[in-house]
Chains A and B, each alone.
Chain A
Amino acid sequence: MQKEHLFKVLVIGDLGVGKTSIIKRYVHQIFSQHYRATIGVDFALKVLHWDSQTVVRLQLWDIAGQERYGNMTRVYYREAVGALIVFDVTRASTFDAVLKWKDDLDLKVTLSNGKPVPAVLLANKSDQSREGLRSQIPKLDTFCKENGFVGWFETSAKDNTNIEAAAKCLVEHILAYEENITNNTDPDVVALPGYNNNTKERVRTRCVTCSKF
């Protein structure tokens, strides 16, 4: 029997890092230089035929990147089960903001067991960085482990690099969590909100799965 999942996924990150471009590439297979700045929030739906038994419907929420909209994110984040956090490899300040976004996310939304929602880090506009982030790879691995990202990808919405892979990684983690709660209804497990040591432990193991991609 076919199973259908509906997941709300947030796409967040600083202004102008390419969130809208990533979504348009992923959902409509297009790229344009002429997108409008997102004001408030935008949406798109991607249907994935995950395997013969599973259909995944991803609601992608494209959230305005300007800090000023930070007051509204509580409403935008509600009931999200995953996030793509994006920065622009050509602008260091957007990487500095990644943790701000991650903290905002973890503060305002958690999974039903109280753990942080899985988040994948996207180093976007890789087509624009000459040497890429190759030298940074070990650092980003550590960064992800330390900060609770389930993985990271060097992406380019323009060249269509790694967008699908990043989304796939995120969906795997979301599905893994779903299966976990359906199989494991241990009443002794007490869910704590926000960060805890468990979270980091969980992330470390998951990151290995992720490196397959």
Chain B
Amino acid sequence: MAKLQAGNGVQWKDNKSQRGTVENLAEYESSSLGSDSELNGFGNTEIQTDKYGFIGGAQQSTGENEDIPPDVLRQREAKWLDMLNSWDKWMAKKHKKVKLRCQKGIPPSLRSRAWLYLSGGKVKKEQNLGKFQELDRQPGDPKWLDVIEKDLHRQFPFHEMFAARGGYGQQDLFQVLKAYTVYRPEEGYCQAQAPIAAVLLMHMPAEDAFWGLVQICEKYLPGYYSAGLEAIQLDGEILFALLKRVSPVAHRHLKKHKIDPILYMTEWFMCAFSRTLPWASVLRVWDMFFCEGVKIIFRVGLVLLKCMLGSQEKLKVCQGQYETMELLRSIEPRYMQEAFLVQEITELAISERDIEKEHLSQLRRWKETRGELHCKSPPRMHGAKAIMAAEPPSRQDLKQHPTIIVEVPPTTESKGKKPKKTKTEKKKDTSPPLNPYPLPNDPTLPSDNLSPSESEHLQKDTPLQGSNQSLSSAEQDTYL
């Protein structure tokens, strides 16, 4: 059995029956090809990932979503940098605008930072400097380590980051999940936390992912992962009650066939749809979820139920409990497609108040039929604004620490005064820049705003030919 040595130096010991400790990707390919029907579009000679890092599986991108034009993306990045740099002001005064921009989709290059700011994970991290390292140094309860270890290779096995046994992705995942069990020993580890942590890790380093996970578990979805799983069952009842309003036909059908909500919504809600939707949609849903809270998860669930079971015609083909559940496990791709889904979500009139109201009445019903809740969870926070109000950050907490420090050459005497547009254009005419983002010797470069992963994203996501459309200098100055 593979054993982990806890603590900082994670060591992976060999498993007698496995060929090696670390299955690298090439081995992965040869060992599973031909034996797994989920693998398709998988080259024989080399592994091809989609733009999100998936090498196969149902969530791999089919490339049907249109990419955002580079110039639009550049503008959005500038706007997001501006927001992030005066985050408290934006949240206090222009929250609607922030919400709207989350609905439009956070630019990939800034997603990690935005998620951490929206969730309050950034503030938590700053207020608890060194905490993650301290948690990481502790050995952890063997009971949880054993379970976590069993799950490491079973999270997004088709994502390049998590495909290799004992690879960096799995090591980070172990670190984050273990740290949480040390942080909240009374909560321990719940299986559905692993995909949540994995999605975060696809975007940010382990420490940031840890604080993101803490915020999701304690602010956005409190009680979802606690022993007894009462909160998720209660939300199942809330979802079902809301469905009556959104789609009476679907509601009646589920009721008639006695299909308990936990039969179809457990994975949806506990994993925040990260294992259900195509990846582009997962990211858009999470952008909105971090901003607006659990309401978004309810809306996605309601939209999918309405689309799949919302008309008599559709119900004709699923006359039974099992058939209905099968149908809900194989949702038609068109209903999960990014643009369609986001539009439906934003148009669905289910508010925080609706959810809170329903929460109260379902809680009353629960107490009548099942007695008191065993697990007292903290109150749910409906999104970024509520979290920020509950835990107001200092300016210092919101400061972005430089992760790359670029020496400014002394030759750039034109400190932001010179019209940079002409300058950059001139440069581009002669030799194309390596990085499509503002040039490193530009004094106003936001270099200290970019973490390594962010700059990597920038390179990956923006074709060079789009660079002449990059941030106009005037905007750049104001925003940075």
Q: Could you give, for residues 48-73 of chain A, a 1 whenever the CB lies within 8 Å of some chain B CB and a 0 otherwise? A: 00000000000100001010110110
> Which of B23, B32, B225, B267 is A40 in contact with, Cβ under 8 Å?
B267
C-alpha spacing A128/B18, complex, angstroms: 9
C-alpha spacing A97/B24, complex, angstroms: 33
- Which of the segments B178-186, B190-198, B354-362 contacts the partner chain? B190-198
C-alpha spacing A16/B191, complex, angstroms: 11
Within 194-213 of B, Cβ neighbours of A (below 8 Å) are at 194-195
C-alpha spacing A30/B36, complex, angstroms: 6
Q: Does residue B150 face the partner (Cβ distance < 8 Å to A)? A: yes
Q: Check A30 against B158 for contact (C-beta < 8 Å).
A: no
Q: Could you give, for residues 61-95 of chain A, a 1 whenever the CB lies within 8 Å of some chain B CB and a 0 otherwise? A: 00010101101100110000000000000110100
Within 17-48 of A, Cβ neighbours of B (below 8 Å) are at 28, 30-37, 39-43, 45
- Which of the segments B4-12, B119-127, B227-235, B293-301 contacts the partner chain? B227-235
Q: Check A75 against B263 for contact (C-beta < 8 Å).
A: yes
> Which of B36, B157, B191, B329 is A15 in contact with, Cβ under 8 Å?
B191
C-alpha spacing A178/B37, complex, angstroms: 35
> Which of B28, B153, B228, B260 is A75 in contact with, Cβ under 8 Å?
B260
Q: Does residue B14 face the partner (Cβ distance < 8 Å to A)? A: no
C-alpha spacing A146/B325, complex, angstroms: 36
Report the interface size for chain B: residues with CB under 8 A from the other chain. Answer: 45
Within 163-205 of A, Cβ neighbours of B (below 8 Å) are at none
Q: A34-B36, A34-B158, A36-B275 are in contact. Are A41 and B228 (CB under 8 A)?
A: no
Q: Check A75 against B262 for contact (C-beta < 8 Å).
A: yes
| A-B contact number at CB 8 A | 98
Q: Report the minimum CB–CB distance from B232 to chain A (whole Å).
A: 9
Q: Does residue B151 face the partner (Cβ distance < 8 Å to A)? A: yes
Q: Check A66 against B329 for contact (C-beta < 8 Å).
A: no
Q: Report the minimum CB–CB distance from A15 to chain B (whole Å).
A: 6
Q: Chain A contacts of B16 at CB under 8 A?
A: 128, 130
Q: Does residue B154 face the partner (Cβ distance < 8 Å to A)? A: yes
C-alpha spacing A36/B153, complex, angstroms: 8
Q: Report the minimum CB–CB distance from A72 to chain B (whole Å).
A: 5
Q: Does residue A127 face the partner (Cβ distance < 8 Å to B)? A: yes
Residue of A nearest to B225 (CB): A68
Q: Check B191 against A37 for contact (C-beta < 8 Å).
A: yes
Q: Could you give, for residues 304-324 of chain B, a 1 whenever the CB lies within 8 Å of some chain A CB and a 0 otherwise? A: 000000000000000000100
Q: Chain A contacts of B146 at CB under 8 A?
A: 93
C-alpha spacing A69/B28, complex, angstroms: 31
Q: Does residue B456 face the partner (Cβ distance < 8 Å to A)? A: no
Q: Report the minimum CB–CB distance from B453 to chain A (whole Å).
A: 25
Q: Report the minimum CB–CB distance from A76 to chain B (whole Å).
A: 8
C-alpha spacing A40/B154, complex, angstroms: 15
Q: Report the minimum CB–CB distance from B140 to chain A (whole Å).
A: 17
Nearest first, the 5 closest Cβ-Cβ pairs linking A and B are: A40-B266, A34-B157, A16-B150, A32-B36, A37-B154
Instruction: List 24 contacting pairs A-B, 8 Å CB cutoff, sorted by A.
Output: A30-B37, A31-B35, A32-B35, A33-B23, A33-B28, A33-B31, A33-B32, A34-B36, A34-B153, A34-B157, A34-B163, A37-B155, A39-B191, A66-B147, A66-B190, A68-B228, A68-B229, A69-B191, A71-B228, A72-B233, A72-B266, A75-B260, A93-B146, A127-B17
B residues near A, CB below 8 A?
A: 1, 16-17, 23, 28, 31-32, 35-38, 146-147, 150-151, 153-158, 163, 190-192, 194-195, 225, 227-230, 233, 260, 262-263, 266-267, 270-271, 275, 322, 325-326, 329
A-B contacts besides A34-B38, A39-B275, A43-B326, 13 pairs, CB < 8 Å: A16-B150, A31-B35, A34-B28, A34-B36, A34-B153, A34-B158, A37-B150, A40-B267, A72-B229, A75-B260, A76-B263, A90-B1, A128-B17
A residues near B, CB below 8 A?
A: 15-16, 28, 30-37, 39-43, 45, 59, 64, 66, 68-69, 71-72, 75-76, 90-91, 93, 127-128, 130
